Amino acid sequence: MTDVRVVVGAAVLDGGRLLAARRSAPAALAGRWELPGGKVEPGETPEEALTRELREELGIEAEPVERIPGEWALRPGLVLWVWTARLVSGEPRPLQDHDALCWLAPEQEHEVDWLDQDRPAVAEAMRRLSGNAYAAGG
């Protein structure tokens, strides 16, 4: 049995918008946009990892809401799972691994160059925003 490690990604939704983060490293990914997140550490649930990563990378407190169905291979042994998340407190700042952030409304989804593996989850998050489930925001 192969050991697959989970990387969590957060579709942070607030006020009818989705948070996008531009990678600053590694060089192969620099300049492309992604959903913020990171690897689940041993002894952590994916939801705990998501909360920790958002605190470390963006300086925010966010609450995982629900997992977006599917998983996407990042490289051998690594898969991406994505949750929608609600911004609880703080103003997102690019503290680690990113050099820029932006909020995108559903009609702006294609204005940034998303990492390929994030595109299906971004599309689903934007569909949910368009359906107004999260448009009220917090």
* DSSP H or E run through 48: helix 46-58
User: Taking the C-alpha atoms of 56, 27, 29 and 4 in order, what is their torsion angle to the nearest 10 degrees?
Assistant: -70
- What local confidence, expressed as pLDDT, does residue 135 receive? 45
CATH number of 5-136: 3.90.79.10
> Which residues, other chains included, contact 13 with Cβ-Cβ below 8 Å and sequence gap of 6+?
19, 65, 84, 85, 86, 87, 125, 128, 129, 134, 137
Q: What is the pLDDT of residues 25-40, one digit of tens each?
A: 889 999 999 999 999 9
Q: What is the pTM of this model?
A: 0.90
Question: Would you list the domain boundaries of the chain?
Answer: 5-136
Stretch 40-65: mean pLDDT, rounded? 97
pLDDT band at 3, cuts 50/70/90?
Answer: confident
